[in-house]
Structures are given as structure tokens and as C-alpha cells.
Amino acid sequence: MRLYDGGRAPNPRRVRIFFAEKGVALPELIPVDIARKEHLTPEFTRINPMRRLPVLELDDGTALAETVAICRYLESLHPQPALFGGNAKEQGQIEMWNRRVELGLFSSVMAVFRHSHPSMVELENQVPEWADANREQIDDHLMILDLQLAGNSYLCGESFTIADITAGIAIDFMKPSRIPLPEDFSNIRRWHGELSARPSWAA
Ligand SMILES: N[C@@H](CCC(=O)N[C@@H](CS)C(=O)NCC(=O)O)C(=O)O
């Protein structure tokens, strides 16, 4: 197996954290420099026509892209700890929260970054108004997270799951996106501090 990796970019990091939480050693890493547009070459486009990272290439040449697809593949190979849940109820709740966060906070933070950050000028047809519209949504997304974390150690209860990885990475990526985390979201601050202290978070 080989992992086409994108360094500090959020989606490759989600996958590296997932490997670490599983206690599975990372496969061979193939660094792909997004800033140098290495993911836009014809060679990489043959591997992933979406021209995005990460990509897990299996030994038979199959290329798995999409962060959650890669994580699901790994969960299937290494069921414990169950980061997508154990029983049906857990699996439903984790899917719900992971999807809520991907379509909500994660997506808004990415849109702010892509449409306002100088490093994205050559990679995105930047629409500053779209960055502003997404920036305005962030507090609403944060409030939903904060409420959920008020009564739970993690997003889906007492166990760490893929939904925490997605949400925690979205919070991390607010910094380079120049979005402040308001002081009053104390439950998010508590939970995010705990995630940041996990050894996997250094990935
Ligand atoms: N839906 C994909 C999104 C992957 C994605 O957007 N990756 C970013 C890095 S975090 C990327 O490759 N960006 C390159 C670009 O925007 O040109 C996933 O979940 O993996």
C-alpha cells in the first residue's frame, strides 16, 4: 500500500490520524506538494481524476480516494477500535455526526480558506463573497457542536470516533483560514484541547 499524502492539508491529516488511532503503521508515504501543483499533473490525474489528496493505492493498483472511503477501508481491515461505531445505533449516530460536520463546519471552513487565502489564488477561482457568506455560517455550526459536546465527552458519546477527527480537523483549520474561535464555546475548547493532546494528533 502507498499513501499519496498532502502534508498539513486537512484531508490527508484526517487519514493519518485515523491510521494512528487504529494503531496501524502508515504505509509508504508519497508526498505530493499541492502548492507546487503536483496533484494536477497528468500522472497524478491518472491515479485520481478528481486531482485531490489523499489517495490510498492498494497493492493491486486500486486507487482509493475520498477520506471517508479510505478510513472505512481501514476500519474493515482493522475493526478495533471501532471508529465508525459498533452496534447499529452507534453506526447511525456516528454517520449522522460525521456527515453533519462534513457538510457544515468542515465545508464552511474549507470554503473560507479556498476563497480567501492567498495560497489558493492559483488553485481556486476565488469568489470573496462566497468566503464571506461561509464565514457568516461558522458560529451557527460551532453552536451545534458546542451544544452536543455539553453533555458528551466526544461528539457521539463517551468514545472517540471518526466524527471527532472530522470536527477536530475543521477546528484546527480555522487558524490558517483566519477564523477566530470565540471564547464562549467552552465545550468545544475543552474537547479540542483533549483531542490535541492525543498522540495521534501529531500526525
Ligand atoms: N472529498 C475529498 C476532498 C479532498 C480534498 O479537497 N483535498 C485537498 C487537500 S485537503 C486537495 O487535494 N486540494 C487540492 C486542490 O484544491 O487543488 C476527500 O474527502 O478526501
Q: What is the pLDDT of residue 80?
A: 98
Annotated domain spans of the chain: 2-77, 88-202
Average pLDDT score over residue span 133-160: 97
- For 75, 86, 128, 161, the CA distances from 80, given in Å and listed in that order, are 7, 9, 43, 11
Show the 3-state SS of 58-121: CCCCCEEECHHHHHHHHHHHCCCCCCCCCCHHHHHHHHHHHHHHHHHHHHHHHHHHHHHCHHHC
Ligand 1 and 112: CB distance under 6 A: no
CATH node for 2-77: 3.40.30.10
pLDDT at 120: 97
* pLDDT category of residue 9 using cuts at 50, 70 and 90: very high
Grid cell digits, residue 169: 480537523
What integer is the mean pLDDT of 37-48?
A: 97
Query: pLDDT class for 188, splitting at 50, 70, 90?
Result: very high
Architecture, CATH, for domain 88-202? Up-down Bundle (1.20)
Q: What pLDDT shows up at residue 57?
A: 98
pLDDT at 66: 98
Ligand 1, residue 65: give the atom nearest the CA.
20
Using most ligand atoms within 8 A of CB, pick from 5, 11, 45, 66 the residue to mutate for ligand 1. 11
Q: Whose CA is nearest to atom 2 of ligand 1?
A: 66
Rg of the chain over Cα atoms, rounded to whole angstroms, equals 17
Ligand 1 pocket residue status of 34, Cβ below 6 Å? yes
- Spatial separation of the C-alpha atoms in residues 160 and 14, rounded to whole Å: 14
Query: What's the mean pLDDT when you consider all of the chain?
Result: 98
Rounded Cα distance, 114 and 69, in Å: 23
> pLDDT at position 36, please?
95
Task: Kindly state the average pLDDT of the residues 48-61.
Answer: 98
Report which protein residue has its CA nearest ligand 1's atom 18.
66
**H or E element, residue 141:** helix 128-150
User: Is pTM, for the whole model, over 0.95?
Assistant: yes
Angle at 138 between CA 135 and CA 139, to 5 degrees: 125
Give the model's pLDDT for residue 22.
98
Percent of the chain with pLDDT over 70: 100
Q: Ligand 1 pocket, 3 CB below 6 A?
A: no
Ligand 1 midpoint to CA 110 (Å): 10
